[in-house]
Amino acid sequence: MDSSEIRRLVALEDTHWWYRERRAILRRELRRLGRPGRALDIGAAGGGNTRVLVEEGWDATATDYSESAVEVARERGLRAVRADARALPFEPGSVDLVTAFDVLEHVREDDLVAAEIARVLAPGGHALIAVPCDMALWSAHDDAVGHVRRYARESLTVVVEQAGLRVERVWSWNVLLRPVVALRRRRSRGSDLQRTSLVVNAGLSAIVRAERYLPVTSLKGVTLFLKARLAR
């Protein structure tokens, strides 16, 4: 993600329905984990998820391969370090939580990223991972944002488990809007990261929030979330 894309993301994320609901999911998962500790946010871009970690009491560090992303995160008052997710500059067992939202799909050696997540986690520590799902949804958007792949539940689980983590849960998100996304992606000519009107944004927000209360997480969506733990 280049500097202009990162700054566009930062300008959108506090109001855009997609980012707001994903941050709400992150908050819920953090509160379920209980007592905060040390956290590492891999592929943090401008640090939107890192900010949630800090607000929830975690001692969080943002990392990104992009120097521009690190600069933006620091401008927002966050601790940020430039790092390759395949070789993290952190000691083994040094963090209690790793978040990696929209990271694995950008790296050909996703197994190395998963192995690094496991290496830096303390025994009993958790990983929260989000990736785009289903190659059937592949489009010009994926090319534009630098995706290498989209995942199935099975392929994501295998990568994480082979790294030595125990998968506790895998679930789908953005299920109700999948038909709309599929149609839009077929017509896509590039990244679909853009501002929406207030009315459209409110409507999409209401639809995606409804998934909190409906039994749809086992169905196909647009994103997969995974929660895993390093055995004690």
Q: What are phi and psi of 35, to 5 degrees?
A: -60, 125
Task: Output the CA torsion 91→94→95→101 (10° steps).
Answer: 10
Token pair for 28:
């819920």
Strands (E), 90-219: 95-101, 121-132, 165-173
> Which of 10-14, 19-23, 150-154, 190-194 shows the lowest per-residue confidence on average (mean pLDDT)?
190-194
pLDDT digits (tens, 9 = 90+) for 170-228: 999 999 999 998 888 777 665 666 678 889 999 999 999 999 999 999 999 999 999 99
Q: What are phi and psi of 188, to 5 degrees?
A: -70, 145
170 SS3 class: strand
pLDDT digits (tens, 9 = 90+) for 79-134: 999 999 999 999 999 999 999 999 999 999 999 999 999 999 999 999 999 999 99
> Which of 10-24, 26-40, 119-133, 192-206 shows the lowest per-residue confidence on average (mean pLDDT)?
192-206
Residue 55 and residue 30 in contact, taking contact as beta carbons nearer than 8 Å: no
| Residue 180 CB neighbours (<10 A) | 13
List 100's β-bridge partners, or say none: 42, 129
Token pair for 85:
């997710």
What is the rounded average pLDDT of the residues 16-27? 94
Residue 10 and residue 37 in contact, taking contact as beta carbons nearer than 8 Å: no
Closest residue by Cα to residue 54 from 75, 27, 34, 22? 27
List 126's β-bridge partners, or say none: 97, 229
- Give me the DSSP letters along 78-97: --EEE-BTTB-SS-TT-EEE
Map out the domains of the chain with their CATH numbers: 3-230 (3.40.50.150)
Q: What is the pTM of this model?
A: 0.93
